Amino acid sequence: MEKIIRELLVKIGEDPDREGLLKTPARVKKTYEFLTKGYQEDPKAILSGAIFHEQCNHMIIVDDIEFYSMCEHHMLPFFGKCHIGYISKNKIYGVSKIVRVVECFSRRLQVQERMTQQVARILMDTIGAEGVGVVIEAQHLCMMMRGVEKQNSRMLTSAMLGSFHDDHPTRDEFLHLIKKR
């Protein structure tokens, strides 16, 4: 990877041997390994280590989960917040594992639409929840730094499964509870 980064520097017109760029290929390699570490993680394994049996069948929400990801089209960052709600059937997740699943999917080359669906589906399937709702709001540097150059735009995506999809009052309660105060 370092060789490729060095070649890239030459292709864009830089001198990879100048002082400020000598360690850049190694730094970029390390950065990309961190930004794409989600490929080395198994979201099912993350969740399976923290499923607890509880007499619980009400809505559980974890909101404002910050994330950073990379757009698969331009390899530029997009970042924002993920809001998750689920209704269990007597099984709950350890709360940190929900956050780790968001981190796992966000640390891959992504599109926001897919990431939203991936988070919802894995949470729904792993404990057989009655329903799951996921809303992601993000800003995309591929729209801010290039192309249309719109600094204040953000993208909202949602995935509603089970009772969050079928039951309007459940969906409305979730959306009301995550609405910014």
Task: Just list the catalytic residues.
Answer: 71-74, 112, 140, 142
Query: Per the annotation, does 58 bind a ligand?
Result: no
Phi, psi torsion values for 175, nearest 5 degrees: -65, -35
Q: How many other C-beta atoms lie within 10 A of the C-beta of residue 16?
A: 14
Query: Per the annotation, does 74 bind a ligand?
Result: yes
Cβ-based burial of 135 (10 A; exposed 0-12, middle 13-18, buried ≥19): buried
Tell me how many degrees the CA angle 12-15-21 measures, rounded to the nearest 5: 100
Query: Per the annotation, does 142 bind a ligand?
Result: yes
95-106 and 112-127 helices, crossing angle to 10°? 140
Residue 154 amino acid letter: R
Alpha carbon 118 to its chain centroid, in Å, reads 9
Binding site: residue ranges?
71, 74, 142
Query: Residues annotated in the binding site for Zn(2+), as ranges?
Result: 71, 74, 142
